[in-house]
């Protein structure tokens, strides 16, 4: 015999979307259970995002999990664009009348939200197998899964699909009910985490003839670097030395000279993709975060978009349970997608501006590269163009 449980909201996925939604609902007294297919350690082992917009920080503050973020997070007032062998600062703070971003790893956000969930005694089923979302087009949605060998059935009013790009929720929607827009870029990012001091105090985004490079960080002693690589590249074929040599070549002479290298703690290749699924609601099933959309990481928007979806979803569900209003639920998809498409546009634009594209692409080859240099020169000379970049980078309002 299996176990049957009841909850108001079943959340699928304990990534940042699912955990943040769980915290916001719990704070409002809405009952939610999280079902995650991996272990907590596995989820914490993924090195991903590093840049948080103000709106994301505010949500974490609202649920009371921002103490460590305020202690250890690094506020950044700007970043550098590097091209033609020189760096040019984008002064986010000045261009946006005092706004900034915070560098604080997704792993740490996830850990803080997990600790908060555990401290409140909220239920998360980790290592759930064969998760299925059922009957979300009717009155009685259900989630079924196997947990520690027990068949479990979760009866709920709503299902939140926070299960990432490869999750089960979007895949369970009938194909005729969903439109999926996708662009896969003809390159990837090779990322390295190393226990070395960052090359500069702020991030450096570099456009170089050999390809894009990014210098980021997690703390004053932990650096995160990326170089554009071929989709055919295998991480095993990139020695640490080869990575550092390639990164150095793509930076300006001063940064190249200052770069401190060391053993990699993590090294991985990520493909780059723009993807949006429309709509984001199907009856009682809501998609949020990477389950509904993917942006290339160049604009640092993925985690922040997940947070804005979760803001819209939590307020919609709280409105329903506290006031009996369906207004938020009915406009959820439209409100999310309006912001999602703007962030997708920005991420696509910034990716197109900064990477080397193959000759065969419209923006590729030598002419594509010369056009990028012209746009970059214009960008750093034009207050208007820099303001557009800054406004999008610090995050559109939600």
The residues assigned a catalytic role are 76, 205, 297, 301, 393
Task: State the residues that interact with ligand RFL by CB under 6 A.
Answer: 12-18, 35-38, 43, 48-51, 106, 128, 131, 162-164, 167-168, 189, 191, 270, 289-290, 297, 300-304, 306
**167 touches which of ligand RFL, ligand PHB, none (CB within 5 to 8 A by kind)?**
ligand RFL
- The answer to whether residue 50 forms part of the interface with ligand PHB (CB under 6 A) is yes
**131 touches which of ligand RFL, ligand PHB, none (CB within 5 to 8 A by kind)?**
ligand RFL
Nearer to ligand PHB, 49 or 114 (CB): 49
Q: How many angstroms separate the CA atoms of 311 and 21, rounded?
A: 8
Smallest gap from residue 79 Cβ to ligand PHB (A)? 8
Q: Are 202 and 233 a contacting pair, CB within 8 Å?
A: no
Nearer to ligand PHB, 47 or 173 (CB): 47
Rg (CA), the chain: 22
Nearer to ligand PHB, 59 or 300 (CB): 300
Q: How many angstroms separate the CA atoms of 356 and 334, rounded?
A: 34
Smallest gap from residue 242 Cβ to ligand PHB (A)? 20
Smallest gap from residue 34 Cβ to ligand PHB (A)? 25
Q: Are 20 and 169 a contacting pair, CB within 8 Å?
A: no
Q: How many angstroms separate the CA atoms of 257 and 200, rounded?
A: 11
Q: Are 355 and 227 a contacting pair, CB within 8 Å?
A: no
Q: Are 297 and 393 a contacting pair, CB within 8 Å?
A: no
Smallest gap from residue 76 Cβ to ligand RFL (A)? 12
Per-residue contact track with ligand PHB, 188 to 227, x per CB under 6 A? ---------------x----------x-x-------x---
Handedness of CA 109, 111, 113, 115 (dihedral sign): negative
- b/e burial code for range 106-136 (CB count within 10 A of at least 16 → b): bbbbbbbbbebbeeeebebbbebeebebeeb
**392 touches which of ligand RFL, ligand PHB, none (CB within 5 to 8 A by kind)?**
none
Q: Are 12 and 143 a contacting pair, CB within 8 Å?
A: yes
How many chain residues are in contact with ligand PHB, going by CB under 6 A?
10
Chain centroid to CA 372: 26
**35 touches which of ligand RFL, ligand PHB, none (CB within 5 to 8 A by kind)?**
ligand RFL
Report the candidate in 211, 215, 219 with the shortest Cα–Cα distance to residue 255: 215
- The answer to whether residue 76 forms part of the interface with ligand PHB (CB under 6 A) is no
Cis peptide before 279 (omega within 30 of 0): yes
Interface residues for ligand PHB in 280-319 (CB under 6 A)?
A: 297-298, 300
Those residues whose C-beta lies under 8 Å from the C-beta of residue 325, and which sit 6 or more positions away, are 319
Nearer to ligand PHB, 33 or 354 (CB): 354
Smallest gap from residue 103 Cβ to ligand PHB (A)? 7
- The answer to whether residue 11 forms part of the interface with ligand PHB (CB under 6 A) is no
**298 touches which of ligand PHB, ligand RFL, none (CB within 5 to 8 A by kind)?**
ligand PHB
Nearer to ligand RFL, 110 or 352 (CB): 110
Smallest gap from residue 248 Cβ to ligand PHB (A)? 19
Using alpha carbons only, give the angle 344, 345, 351 rounded to the nearest 5 degrees: 85
Nearer to ligand RFL, 127 or 319 (CB): 127
Q: How many angstroms separate the CA atoms of 37 and 130, rounded?
A: 8
Strand 204-206 vs strand 79-83: parallel, antiparallel, or unpaired? parallel
Which residues of the shown chain bind ligand PHB in the complex (CB under 6 A)?
49-51, 203, 214, 216, 224, 297-298, 300
């Amino acid at each position: 015999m299996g176990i049957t449980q009841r909850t108001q909201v079943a959340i699928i996925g304990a990534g940042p979307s699912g955990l943040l939604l769980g915290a916001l609902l719990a704070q409002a007294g809405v009952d939610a259970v999280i079902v995650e297919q991996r272990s907590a350690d596995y989820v914490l082992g993924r090195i991903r995002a590093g840049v948080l917009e103000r709106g994301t920080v505010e949500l974490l503050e609202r649920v009371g999990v921002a103490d460590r973020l305020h202690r250890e997070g690094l506020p950044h007032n700007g970043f550098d664009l590097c091209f033609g062998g020189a760096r040019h600062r984008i002064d986010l703070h000045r261009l946006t009348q005092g706004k900034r971003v915070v560098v604080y790893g997704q792993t740490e956000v996830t850990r803080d939200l997990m600790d908060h969930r555990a401290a409140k005694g909220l239920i998360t089923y980790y290592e759930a197998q064969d998760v299925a979302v059922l009957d979300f087009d009717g009155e009685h949605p259900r989630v079924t899964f196997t947990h520690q060998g027990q068949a479990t059935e979760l009866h709920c009013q709503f299902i939140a699909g926070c299960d990432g790009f490869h999750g089960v929720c979007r895949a369970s929607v009938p194909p005729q009910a969903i439109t999926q827009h996708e662009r896969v870029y003809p390159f990837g990012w090779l990322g390295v985490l190393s226990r070395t001091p960052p090359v500069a105090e702020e991030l450096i985004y570099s456009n170089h003839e050999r390809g894009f490079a990014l210098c980021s960080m997690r703390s004053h002693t932990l650096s995160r670097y990326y170089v554009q690589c071929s989709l055919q590249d295998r991480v095993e074929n990139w020695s640490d030395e080869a990575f550092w040599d390639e990164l150095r070549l793509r930076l300006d002479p001063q940064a190249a000279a200052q770069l401190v290298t060391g053993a990699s703690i993590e090294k991985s290749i990520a493909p780059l993709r723009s993807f949006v699924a429309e709509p984001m609601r199907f009856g009682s099933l809501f998609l949020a975060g990477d389950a509904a959309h993917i942006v290339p990481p160049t604009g640092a928007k993925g985690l922040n978009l997940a947070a804005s979806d979760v803001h819209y979803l939590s307020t919609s569900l709280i409105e329903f349970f506290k006031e009996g209003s369906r207004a938020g639920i009915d406009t959820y998809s439209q409100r999310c997608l309006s912001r999602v498409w703007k962030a997708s546009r920005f991420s696509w634009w910034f990716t197109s501006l900064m990477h080397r594209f193959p000759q065969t692409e419209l923006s590729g080859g030598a002419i594509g590269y010369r056009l990028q240099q012209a746009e970059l020169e214009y960008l750093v000379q034009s207050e208007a163009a820099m303001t557009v970049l800054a406004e999008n980078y610090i995050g559109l309002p939600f």
